Structure 1
């Protein structure tokens, strides 16, 4: 029997489960349980060769990602089957030690490091100097679900501390694309440094979560070890086609950032009307409230699905996909607030 039994981490997007639990047809729901852009990139038709041929490293996919993210070179970029694939494997490639992870952040990191034999300690993001006992650290920036954002200067300061101890800083920038293409706030440009790994995902901003495509950015030796564990053909031909077009469409990116900023402001304003103090990114808003479980249930009974967290009691809201969904959500939220008192 494994010392660390495999447990499934709860995530948003589990709409079939909600539909079954509440007895409401799947297609009747408004799914606000993820932070995925509901206005996904319009992928052009997939050429037949993308289906027929095995993906090849020489197709320029890593170079395209390096240009988009601002990485030093294509050799510092490894395409993976969603950043989740890298999260599962990276801990086994690092020396076993203490790893600092925020108590409320993306839930896959702590189990992955625990399975690999690391000791998990809480990350205090207010500290300028990390405790000497900490060798590795994981930062989701901006954080999911709290929307907290740390400066590149703070993160590079932490990286220098960890690197001097033979450690590694992993920065998950899955939600960074929506803030604008300000490369000074991403650490992608710094991934030639040993002991720094940046994970990126086109699934959130581009709304391409179903493509199961992500990127690990870091030193070539570590990426080579990661690739050896993951094996060949980690990203399919159709996914490469979709993501390449998305990365090269700067006009769509600019227009979408404006749209998401406006919709995020609308979501935050709606939550404030009901007395909440939301923290937001362009793709989701998060509220901490002791009534979170009751509010999630009340919304679910009105066919609105949200993501709940227990410590602290809180809810994360994604963006409605259409004006009709906005109207339905506004009405459901008002009714739910009345129901929970």
Structure 2
């Protein structure tokens, strides 16, 4: 029996099984708001039986459709952006890489395992945590001279910060001049297309990651795309190997990317719902910022809030690096919204000691 010294798993939302075991509430009674996934995802079309019998066709038109959708010269389909994060360290030259202190948790361990020197940064809203970071990332300011690469999640998960394209491309320009790379994770940008730099992804030193799981609500399909220059695309394609995205998933994602009417309607719906969510959280003591897919509230007693909500069958994601809560969108029905509001009211009463 092998004794592997494996690193601990990175915690994520969607861990409803943990809540079921901890609180003894049956799974079907929970409202799971622990992720930033659209609760009313793309309506999956009928899939022909033959799609389950054949190997996936890596030469179909899925990547061409994705490239057109993102406005990029090319697109590489992966089994979710998570798979891309595991491959990226293999195609970038070694050097110090900046990763946010409060951001998607898989980047730092992936690059550290590959031998990169990971330098954590904070942005201006978290300047009080500067002592935990190597540098502060500020628009219009020079990056640290030693930095080779930078990972930027835009909008950031979970803190909802947004970075304008001209700011993003200024950081890219600085890194490219020193032979480095800017990795822009746009997993949540589909609802905010004005933030995207996907159309610039052919430039040397820029890699853009796009996700199908969040906006389209197709997380179970496990499909994402890498948008990059031809050399990086070729290198990642070789490492990816064949048949990484299943045939049925390719069919569903192709339909979703082509359905522009659904996309337009969904952007409007998510914008209204997320505004309502942030206002509701604020009414009960959580000062929340939001993207169209989730809200974030910095909260010193986040653990108490998570526990109080969980005892009422509502599961949210708690962060410890910077104490706070990420709350995803409820399903778009009034009964779910009413249940969430009642739970927040109860938590506010409990935390206020009334």
Taking structure 1 as the reference length, the TM-score comes to: 0.95
Question: How far is the alpha carbon of 1:2 from its aligned partner?
Answer: 10
Question: How far is the alpha carbon of 1:291 from its aligned partner?
Answer: 1.1
Question: Once structures 1 and 2 are overlaid, which stretch shifts more, 268-277 or 281-290?
Answer: 268-277
Question: How far is the alpha carbon of 1:6 from its aligned partner?
Answer: 2.4
Alignment of 1:30-179 (within 5 A): 30-72=31-73, 76-123=74-121, 124-127=136-139, 128-179=141-192
Give the equivalent residue in structure 2 for 1:287.
Answer: 297
Query: Is the Cα contact below 8 Å between 1:4 and 1:115 reproduced in 2?
Result: no
State the number of aligned residues: 335
* Deviation sequence 1:247-280 (CA, Å, 0-9, x none): 1111111111111111111101101111322110
- In structure 1, how many angstroms separate the alpha carbons of the residues matched to 2:271 and 2:201? 28
The residue matched to 1:271 in structure 2 has which SS? helix
The residue matched to 1:59 in structure 2 has which SS? coil
- In structure 1, how many angstroms separate the alpha carbons of the residues matched to 2:27 and 2:6? 32
Give the equivalent residue in structure 2 for 1:219.
Answer: 229
- In structure 1, how many angstroms separate the alpha carbons of the residues matched to 2:145 and 2:323? 31
Give the equivalent residue in structure 2 for 1:272.
Answer: 282
Question: How far is the alpha carbon of 1:133 from its aligned partner?
Answer: 0.5
* Deviation sequence 1:146-190 (CA, Å, 0-9, x none): 0001111111111111111111110000000012x44xx311111
Question: Where in structure 1 are there 5+ consecutive unaligned residues?
Answer: none
Give the equivalent residue in structure 1 for 2:125.
Answer: none
Query: Is the Cα contact below 8 Å between 2:278 and 2:290 reproduced in 1?
Result: yes
- In structure 2, how many angstroms separate the alpha carbons of the residues matched to 1:132 and 1:2? 41
Query: Is the Cα contact below 8 Å between 2:209 and 2:225 reproduced in 1?
Result: yes
- In structure 2, how many angstroms separate the alpha carbons of the residues matched to 1:17 and 1:10? 11
Question: Where in structure 2 are there 5+ consecutive unaligned residues?
Answer: 122-135
Question: Once structures 1 and 2 are overlaid, which stretch shifts more, 123-132 or 151-160?
Answer: 123-132
Question: How far is the alpha carbon of 1:229 from its aligned partner?
Answer: 1.6
The residue matched to 1:193 in structure 2 has which SS? coil
RMSD: 1.5
Query: Is the Cα contact below 8 Å between 2:285 and 2:348 reproduced in 1?
Result: no
The structure-2 alpha-carbon separation of the partners of 1:163 and 1:89, relative to structure 1 and needing over 3 Å to count, comes to same
Question: Once structures 1 and 2 are overlaid, which stretch shifts more, 89-98 or 118-127?
Answer: 118-127
Give the equivalent residue in structure 1 for 2:131.
Answer: none
Question: How far is the alpha carbon of 1:4 from its aligned partner?
Answer: 8.0
Q: Are positions 1:309 and 2:322 aligned together?
A: no
Q: Are positions 1:188 and 2:193 aligned together?
A: no
Question: How far is the alpha carbon of 1:49 from its aligned partner?
Answer: 2.6
- In structure 2, how many angstroms separate the alpha carbons of the residues matched to 1:155 and 1:263? 28
Question: Once structures 1 and 2 are overlaid, which stretch shifts more, 235-244 or 55-64?
Answer: 55-64
Question: Once structures 1 and 2 are overlaid, which stretch shifts more, 160-169 or 281-290?
Answer: 160-169
Taking structure 2 as the reference length, the TM-score comes to: 0.92
